[in-house]
Structures are given as structure tokens and as C-alpha cells.
Structure 1
Amino acid sequence: MDKIVYSKDRKNLTDKILSISVMFPITILSIQYLILNYFNILGSNNGSIVQQISKSIVGLLFLVTLPKMLKRNWILFLFTYVTAIGLFLFNYIFFNQNTEILQMLIFQFYFMSLPCFIYSYSIDDTEILLSVMNKVSIIVFIVGVVISILVFTNRITIDSYSMSLSYYMLLPIIVFLNSFLKNMRLLTFTQIIISLIIILSLGSRGPLICIGFFIVSYLINNRVKLNYKSILIYPILLSLVIIIFIKFDDILSYTYRMFLQLGIRSRTLQMLMEKGLYLSGRETLYSTILDQIKQNPLLGIGIGGDRLYVGSYVHNIFLELLSHFGIIFGSIIIVFLFYLCYRMIKLKSKNDSNFMLMWISMGIIPLLVSGSYLIEFNFWIFLGLALKALKKDKNLKIKDIK
């Protein structure tokens, strides 16, 4: 009996170590963002040093915990890196115009993205990961609040908006929403409102899409349980939604004026008040890459090729995949991602399904309007967790049949 308990404790400890490793990058990045802006060294030599130190700390943690991961999934580790190296070599040979871009991607892809994928797949108990996510969310939330206070009191300045800050705040607000929709606690609701204010005042629009997706998909995926809390709170929330829908323009205008009085010119609110859809120049990026896809339908323009033609990533995962791998292989990958998301929603365990909805909201939805699948570690965490969830779900169904 003691051996069984000891074995379980060791397994839980390994899951906790792997979970901390997976969630550590966002913790470091948010703190790094605070340091860079507080000391006003973003873009300077000192800023580059801070960024290199941050990357080194994350890489060191992955390296220290590597033996734990290898004991569980050394075959996956070997297969993943051999495949990735082969893919990059193929692109070096056949798309040599992308050589410089590929070299720039190597560190982020091989030492951040791929470890996030393998380490997240190696986690057996997602409840332990969720517990770590809750703690990390509190840290990132506090960092976000501190940054906001410093901005509001003119201690630090940022550009007209900060995409980085808003996406850092996406983790805590999704975690808080997941908790609130289950337990309906006032403290959690307050944390959600504060996070939302930070995103609206200082951030970009992208996270709002992710938040909306999570709320709608969660409510659809879960039947409302009637208890004293839901009977009291849901009608209030429904009334608020109706009021917001009817008075949306007035609420936006009032909120925008309120931020102006605080010295904050919210770019997000400005764009929401504009009539029609404003893509912030993305339509030009999309048009350029679509032309390249049409000209190179079979093999595309290679990994990172979009950077060569538009100066950065294309801000849409579908166009990025089609341009990198061509229409045939790109479409296969896109269909697989749709299938993976669908299966995550249909998992046998409702808790697992809700958990994966969080990661769809953080790992897939943001890539529809921003970021690049190559360097966004939330995307690779989602992939690892999703493939592991498929395996777990299949085992549950086999047990039910037996």
C-alpha cells in the first residue's frame, strides 16, 4: 500500500513539475514586460539583455526538467525533433530565400514551442495543470494591475495600445471566467471586470474575440444547473446582456470618455465605435499572401515565407499554413485542427471538455487575428494537451465497452 501511495506521489510531483515548466514562460514574459516598461529600456541594448536573460531562464527550466519528461515520452521527444529538423532542412534546401528567417525562428521554435508541446503532452493529470494555471493567473493578474496603475499614474508610458499586455491578460481572464461560470463568486467576477478594463483601456481587440468565444462555447457546452445561485445570477446577467446590446454605442462612448478623463485614449474602444469592420491593415497582408498562395499553390512559399513578403507574420493561421505548406498539405493541417477542436468539445468527460475549451480560446482563437503558430507557445500547449486528451478519451470509451 505504501508503495502505491509513494508511486502516486511521485507521479503527481512529476505532473506538477511539468505543469510549472509549461506555464513558466507566460509568467516570465509578463514580468519581463513590466521590467522593460518600468525602466523604459524596451528596444535598447539593456532591454535586449533582459529579454535574453528571460529566454535563458525559461530554457534552463526546460533543461532541468528534461529528464522527468524523457522518462515518460522519450519516443515522442525523438520523433518530434527529428520531424521538425527534417522539415526545416527541407525548407533550407527548397526555399533558400527564407534562410535568414528560418535562422531567426530556430531558438523560439526549437527551445520554446516544441518543448511546450512535448511537456504538455507528458502531463497525465490536467487537474494539477489547472491548479498551476490558477496560481500563474494570479501572478499575471497582479503584474497587469501593477502595470495599469503605473500607466494611469503616468509613472510609465506605453504606445497607443499594447497587444502583448492584452494577450498576457487573456490567461487570467479565461481562468477566472472558467471559475466564475462554475462557482459564481463575487471575488472572481471582480477579477474578471478588472482584467477586462485593463484589456479595453490598454490592450487590443483580439482577446475580446477569445473571451466571447469562451463564454458562448462554455454556455453551449454546459447545461445550466438550476440552484439558488443560478436562479439569482443568470437572470441578472441576461438582463445586463440585453441592456448592453440595446445601449452598446452609448456604453462605448461613455466608457471611452471616462478613460479620456483618466488620460487613456483607448484604441480598442475607438475601433469598436467605428462603423464597419476595421482590420488595422491586415487586409493588405491577407491580399499579398493570397496572391502568393495562388502563384505557389502546390508547395507554397515555405516556412516563414510570409515574413519575406509582408515584413511580419500574416496574422491569420489559415493563410499562414496555406502559404507555408501549399494548398494540399496546408488544407490537411487546417482540417486536422478543426477536427481536433471538435473532438475536444465532444470529450466524454465534461470537465476535460471545459478545460480544453480554455485552451482553444487561448491557443487557437488568437491565431485567427494575430500571432504565428510557429512561435506562440499557447498553440503548442493546446496541441500537446489535445492529443493527450484524445488518447485519454479513447481509453475511457474502451473501458465503457468492456
Structure 2
Amino acid sequence: MLMKKLKNLDIDYLALTVCLLIAFNPIKNVLILSVRKVIQLPLHIDVIILYSLACFTIFKALLAIKQMKKDILILLVLLLCILLATLIITGKQNNAFLLDIYIQTLFSFVVGYTFCRNIDNYHLLKIYLECTAIVLIITQIFSIFILKENILMDKTYSQEQAYILLPAVIISLNSLFDKITLVHLVNFFVGIWLIFMMGTRGPLACMLFFTLVRVLLKTMQAKRKYVIIGSVMIVTYGVYTYFTKLMEIALIISENLHLSTRSIIQILNGSFFMDSTRNVLKVFSIKLIQERPLFGWGMGNDRLKLASMFHYDDAIGWYPHNFFLEILVQFGVIIGFCFIVYIAYVIFVNVFSKQIGYDEKNVFLIFLAIGFFPLLFSGSYMTWTLFWAFLGFGVSGILYEKEHRDATIY
């Protein structure tokens, strides 16, 4: 069905670039590993070819942008000013570390926000995303079971691998809410199973939040609300009744395949939502807010402060692991609260406004789940490209809604 749709469509390089934000790295890694299982090419030609194709796609996408939106340039200048101010205030001692983080942040913003902000064919993008979801799952299955890649690298879990799988699960689940098809049904359940096998909790929580939002919207739009509510109750009761048995079966399968059993064991013993390290990070983050409540510590400087509180010299990875705390630590209570309120406004309008089209709303919900929800549990918005993509789609929705609301008024 998807292939039939694609055959009748011209290539949209903007939509293709958005899909690359989600799938380029995992697909690239599998292709390179596959080639190197057969032959070792000189000068890393395989890597050069793949990056050249990605650069070509990005270049074509830039050419497809008819007119650069003003808000992109305004936000870019504002971001540069904030980063420069933090760099000056922090001092020369940590300049190298901060510059590295800032370069990643600027790249994530330019790539994520710019291309998503300029998308105009949301229906085509949805088709591209559905294809991407299927390709992602196929490549990961190929990597784990055919190439026998050590995904966990002798660890008890792989957070990175689980978040690679999350977009595929969310996109297929979103498609299933529209129409139940065998392809996306299989893709969804295989994706969920693989995430369980990776041993992380965040992606599962993101999927749960997405499901709740979609069920809420479906219930609000449906004429026979009691049918949806009843169906949800029946499914919930069935899962609840056989949940322990299902988890035990999953545990046996995981052990036999030498995959992570961390999430399953945590669910069975009731410690799924417990994380002592994250709790300490939150306590220290609140202390930093209390020390500088008005203007905060600046972008990236929170990592240096948290690392020193844990007595670590390397500040990589030492951020609050919670979007709201990270914003408040960096910008203080006043500016941070304003930013959080704006994000809440963006989400509310894009989710509940009747002015926004169905495809536009669907795409926003997907990126809400893969670009924003993960930041409630892990990661940093600064270098999370999908967050800037989420914001790009969100701002487009806000401006579209405002334009059509004003047109209705006048």
C-alpha cells in the first residue's frame, strides 16, 4: 500500500531530510557493518558514499525552501547571543567543553528547526515517515539477528538503541489509530518487543503518554465515545489479568536470546520507575536553581556544575535529565517559566485546535512523542535534534492557527 502511494509521488527532499533526522544514523551503521562483513573498502569509501548521499539530500532540501522564515533567523541570533553570553560569563577555563556543546546545539537547531519549519506537504511527510518506521525495524532486526551485532556491548541495557527504535513504534502506532494494517501492527509489536529487550524505561513511558493523548483525541472526536471507552477498558483488563504471565514469557525469550532483561525484571519486582542516580540529579538541580533563581547558570554551564557536585572532571552527560529542570537551571525562574509556558501553549494549540489540519496534527503528535516526551526522562534539549524538529512543527502550527483564526474574525 505504501509503495503504491510512493510510486505516484515526486521526491520531496524536505520530507526526506526530516526522515533522515530520525533514521540516518541507525541505517548508516547497519549498512556499513553489512559491507564490512563482506569487504573492507579503502579510505572509508562506504562512509564517504553514505554521507555524500545525506549531504546531497540536505542540499536539495535547502534549494526546495522557497523563502526562509523570519523566526528561524530571529531564533538563531537569539541562541547565538545566549551562548556567547554564557561563554563570556563562565570564563576561559571551560571554553573548549562549552564550545563543543554549543556547536552541537547550533547544528541541531539549524537542521531540526529549519527543515521542519519549512515543511508544507504534511500528507507526503506522513507517508515518508511510515516507510521510515518499517525500514528502521527491518534494519535493527537485521543488525541484531543476522549480523549478530553486540547491541548491549556487555551492559545490562542500551538506552541509545531503545530511543532509536522509539520513532518506528510511535509512527506505526499513530498509523494504527487511523487504520489497522498488518504491516504496522507487526512493526509496532516487534518494535515494542525490541525496546523491552534493550532494557530501558523511558521509551516505554513515551509510548504510553502518546497512547493516552491519541485515545483522548479519538474519544473527543468520536460520535460513539462509549465504544472507544469500552474497548480501552476491555484491552486494559485483558493486559492487567495476563500481565505477569506475559512478562514471564518475555523474560524466558530474552534470556534465551541473550538480550537485556532489565526492564522486565524491574516491572516484575515493582522497581520500574525507581532510579536513585536520577533522583540525586534532580535534588542537585533544585539546589542550583535555589542558588541562582533569577537568571540561572546559562546554557551548558549546568553540566559543569552538576559534574562538580558529583566530583567528576568530565561533564559530558551531567545534565538534569528533565526538560523543565534543565530550563530552570539554565535560565532562572522568570525566563525559564516563560519558556515552559510557551512550550505548553505550543502543545495545547497543536493538539486541540480545530483549525489545524489532520495530517499536520498527526505529524506534530509523532514529534511530540519522539522529540519532547523523551526529555522528561533523559537527554538534553540542547543537542536533541528531534526537540528542535518538534519545536519547528509546533511553531508552524501556532502561526497557522493564528492566521486562520484572524481570517475567521475578519
Q: Calculate the TM-score normalised by the size of structure 1.
A: 0.83
The worse-fitting range, judged by mean Cα deviation, of 237-246 and 264-273 is 237-246
Letter paired with 1:253: E
Native 8 Å contact 1:344 1:386 kept in 2: yes
Structure 1 equivalent of residue 119 of structure 2: 123
Distance in 2 between residues matched to 1:65 and 1:188, nearest whole Å:
28
Q: How far apart are residue 216 of structure 1 and its match?
A: 1.2
Native 8 Å contact 2:144 2:150 kept in 1: no
Structure 2 equivalent of residue 314 of structure 1: 320
Q: How far apart are residue 78 of structure 1 and its match?
A: 2.9
Letter paired with 2:150: I
Native 8 Å contact 2:381 2:387 kept in 1: yes
Residue 365, structure 1, aligned to residue 373, structure 2: yes
Structure 2 equivalent of residue 377 of structure 1: 385
Structure 1 equivalent of residue 189 of structure 2: 193
Distance in 2 between residues matched to 1:51 and 1:84, nearest whole Å:
32
Distance in 2 between residues matched to 1:401 and 1:25, nearest whole Å:
38
| Structure 2 CA distance for partners of 1:155 and 1:338, relative to 1, 3 Å | closer
Residue in structure 2 matching 1:251, options 246, 255, 276:
246
Native 8 Å contact 1:37 1:157 kept in 2: no
Superposition RMSD on alpha carbons, in Å? 3.2
Structure 2 equivalent of residue 156 of structure 1: 150
Residue 222, structure 1, aligned to residue 218, structure 2: yes
Q: How far apart are residue 366 of structure 1 and its match?
A: 0.5
Residue in structure 2 matching 1:241, options 236, 249, 252:
236
| Structure 2 CA distance for partners of 1:187 and 1:336, relative to 1, 3 Å | same
Q: How far apart are residue 20 of structure 1 and its match?
A: 1.5
| Structure 2 CA distance for partners of 1:286 and 1:74, relative to 1, 3 Å | same
Q: How far apart are residue 238 of structure 1 and its match?
A: 4.5
Residue 21, structure 1, aligned to residue 25, structure 2: no
Q: How far apart are residue 194 of structure 1 and its match?
A: 0.6
Structure 2 unaligned blocks of 5 or more? 1-8, 37-41, 308-314
Q: How far apart are residue 86 of structure 1 and its match?
A: 1.3
Distance in 2 between residues matched to 1:189 and 1:67, nearest whole Å:
37
Letter paired with 2:371: G
The worse-fitting range, judged by mean Cα deviation, of 298-307 and 169-178 is 298-307
Q: How far apart are residue 299 of structure 1 and its match?
A: 1.9
Letter paired with 2:396: K
Q: How far apart are residue 363 of structure 1 and its match?
A: 1.2
Distance in 2 between residues matched to 1:381 and 1:117, nearest whole Å:
5
Q: What are the equivalent positions in structure 2 for 1:2-401 lying under 5 Å apart?
A: 16-34=12-30, 58=54, 61-63=57-59, 65-69=61-65, 71-73=66-68, 75-96=70-91, 98-150=94-146, 154=148, 156-158=150-152, 159-223=155-219, 238-276=233-271, 277-279=273-275, 281-308=277-304, 309-310=306-307, 311=315, 312=317, 313-348=319-354, 349=356, 351=358, 352-401=360-409
Q: How far apart are residue 144 of structure 1 and its match?
A: 1.7
Distance in 2 between residues matched to 1:225 and 1:294, nearest whole Å:
46
Distance in 2 between residues matched to 1:187 and 1:234, nearest whole Å:
26
Q: Calculate the TM-score normalised by the size of structure 2.
A: 0.82
Letter paired with 1:332: C
The count of corresponding residues between Structure 1 and Structure 2 is 379
| Structure 2 CA distance for partners of 1:86 and 1:157, relative to 1, 3 Å | closer
| Structure 2 CA distance for partners of 1:305 and 1:273, relative to 1, 3 Å | farther
Q: How far apart are residue 246 of structure 1 and its match?
A: 3.0
What SS is found at the alignment partner of 1:124?
Answer: coil
Letter paired with 1:156: N
| Structure 2 CA distance for partners of 1:324 and 1:49, relative to 1, 3 Å | farther
What SS is found at the alignment partner of 2:274?
Answer: coil
Letter paired with 1:73: M
Q: How far apart are residue 167 of structure 1 and its match?
A: 1.0
Structure 2 equivalent of residue 9 of structure 1: none
What SS is found at the alignment partner of 1:363?
Answer: helix
Letter paired with 1:105: I
